[in-house]
Structure 1
Amino acid sequence: MTPTVAEGTAGTARHPAPMALYEDADLLVLNKPSGLLCVPGRGPDKQDCLSARAQLYWPGALIVHRLDQATSGLVLMARHADAQRRLSLAFEQRQVHKRYLAVVQGLVAEPPGTWADIHLPIAADWERRPLRIIDALQGKPSHTRWRALAHNTAAGTTRVELEPVTGRTHQLRVHLAALGHPILGDALYADAATQAQAPRLLLHAGELALTHPATGQAMRWELAADF
């Protein structure tokens, strides 16, 4: 469901209404396009974001988790503070199931369909913020499950499915780059040739599942990637 585009306030540019895959009195599930921030950044040029747009149509909507600006896909928001508290706790306790799709450089050696685990600790690269690095001494434990879905032999790329068990900043991008399979279009962790293979980061949050914070009902949403 997509609400009518708002007129905006004086001096404020109009922005497209967020596309809602689901809404009720407690939560929203929105489709975030690649290139849009989840929350405001620093500076007047970074105030347009998914949460600000959502609040124009669903006053009081609160962010629960984030996607990188370059990542597309499903984002969950709460309609009120109690729902935000419950949903945030579910994320902290790893009770929210998430899956992503990506296209990476290289032909992944594992047979398609075989799940593998990445356990590489991630730390902030303070001298090159906002970059993250693999750091065995200072890094926080980080766990990603992944599998190859299909090889594109001609392009030398692999379509993969990803499950972040932990939720570190840039986790999927850092883990795949560390394995030698950076994501196409990744301006932070891929070399120039890999960046140039796609007009955007080919990473998409395509599946989200959780227990409804008010009803206890099992909920699940899917959103196909546009790549």
Structure 2
Amino acid sequence: MSYTTKKFTVETPVLAFRFLMDTFGITMSEAQKTIDRKRVYVNDELLTRKSARIFGEIAVVVFEGTSKGLIPVFETEDFAVYDKPSGVMIHPRKRSDGYTLNDEIKSRYGKDANAAHRIDKSTSGLVLIGKNKKAEIELKAIFAARKVHKRYFALVRGKISDEFLIDAKLKRDIATSQIRLKVHVDETGKPSQTRVIPVCYFEDKHATFIEAIPYTGRQHQIRAHLFHVKHPIVGDPIYGIDEVDAERFLDGSMTHEEQTRKTLSPRLLLHAQSLAFCYKGIDYAIESTFNAKSEFYNLLQEKVNE
């Protein structure tokens, strides 16, 4: 389990945030966030006031990483890179989410280590980790300044013969969509660009293995852009199937077997292949060793319809 409850007995009243700071060695801001996230109980009652004085039986829900043996593929003194499997979230959204990449990060590098960016749960591939708060902040700034060159591999429906640029604004949660987390091409959205480079066309499956380079970092950018140009990624349970089925996937009512049947793959065939950036005057170019071309071909269950 990623979360566990630690119990304490406090005999002398103490400020709640001070108790958390002293007990767990965290900052005042982190202590206040712990209370805001409803993780502190006093005598079996949820604590809601950060300035309250507490005593008696105190229970605190904390995150404790449990490793499954995933090791980084590259690391320096300040950062590490993991090759995340498909189906694993980076951060848990709720206590019942179970194992995430955070389990590996925290168990290996401690509580101050964090991912510097995100990729979708369904997407596999490289994730950059700051081993400490200072490194995390610096790495996030490099991403925010668009100074990280990212390359993805994907297997998409249909034939793509020539390289092209998708320049289409993206917007989340438009009024006509019944899916809250879906991203759409919309003129009122944020500027978004993705270059698409065909690598190999599999005629027997009517699918193209491509390289995708996102010049901007919008949520679901590659998935939404490829869907927009009528070449959705194989295995995508949100973009490329009707919204009723996509909603069923998101609320957990679609079985894995049904997902595979409807999307033609047991997983999203999108992989974060490489990261290139400059950090502290040193240029890094990190490549995944995952054989996406072969693996994706084998995962595509049948020929894509014309």
Match of 1:133 among 184, 194, 199: 184
Q: Which residue, out of 122, 131, 134, partners 2:170?
A: 122
Of stretches 77-86 and 158-167 in structure 1, the one that deviates more from structure 2 is 77-86
Q: Is the 8 A contact 2:83 2:127 kept in 1?
A: yes
Structure 1 CA distance for aligned equivalents of residues 192 and 143 of structure 2? 15
- Tell me, in whole angstroms, the C-alpha distance in 2 between the residues paired with 1:39 and 1:14: 13
Is structure 2 residue 203 aligned with structure 1 residue 153? yes
Aligned-partner SS, 1:204 = strand
* 1:220 shift after superposition: 1.0
For residues 234 and 262 of structure 2, the distance between their equivalents in structure 1, rounded to whole angstroms, comes to: 6
TM-score using structure 1 length: 0.86
CA distance in 2 between partners of 1:218 and 1:146 (Å):
25
Letter in 1 for 2:236: D
1:98: Cα distance to partner? 0.6
> Which segments of structure 1 move beyond 2 Å, counting only runs of 4 or more?
8-15, 191-196, 224-227
Residue deviations 1:13-72, cap 9 Å, x none?
95413320112220010010000001111x322243112321111112112100000000
SS of the residue corresponding to residue 117 of structure 1 reads strand
CA contact (8 A) 2:198 2:208 kept: yes
Aligned with residue 66 of structure 1, among 118, 123, 141 = 118
2: CA distance, partners of 1:10 / 1:19: 27
CA RMSD of aligned residues (A): 2.2
Secondary structure of 1:91's counterpart equals helix
1:63 maps to a residue whose letter is A
Opposite residue 172 of structure 2, the aligned amino acid is A
1-structure distance, mates of 2:135, 2:66:
29
C-alpha spacing 1:131/1:194, structure 2 compared with 1 (3 Å): farther
- 1:163 is displaced (CA, Å) by 0.5
Task: Find the counterpart in structure 1 of residue 267 from structure 2.
Answer: 200
Measured after TM superposition, the shift of residue 128 of structure 1 is: 1.5
- Distance in 2, matches of 1:190 and 1:94, equals 28
Match of 1:102 among 149, 154, 166: 154
1:85 counterpart SS class:
helix
**Residue identity matched to 2:182:** L
CA distance in 2, matches of 1:195, 1:15: 33
CA contact (8 A) 2:152 2:213 kept: yes
In the TM superposition, what is the alpha-carbon distance from 1:178 to its structure 2 partner? 0.4
Equivalent pairs counted in the alignment come to: 212
- Measure, in 2, the Cα distance between the counterparts of 1:66 and 1:91: 11
Deviates more, 1:124-133 or 1:55-64: 124-133
The amino acid across from 1:168 in the alignment is R
Stretches of structure 2 lacking an aligned partner (at least 5 in a row): 7-63, 243-259, 297-306
- Note the C-alpha offset of 1:194: 8.2
CA contact (8 A) 2:66 2:99 kept: no
Establish whether residue 77 from structure 1 lines up as the match of residue 142 from structure 2: no
Long gaps (5+) in structure 1: 1-7
Larger Rg: 2
Percent identical: 34
Q: Label 1:58 to 1:74 Cα distance change in 2 as closer, same or farther (>3 A).
A: same
**Aligned residue in 2 for 1:220:** 285
Match of 2:224 among 174, 180, 186: 174
Checking the alignment, whether the CA contact within 8 Å between 1:142 and 1:168 is kept in structure 2 is yes
CA distance in 1, matches of 2:65, 2:72: 21
Per the alignment, residue 190 of structure 1 pairs with 240
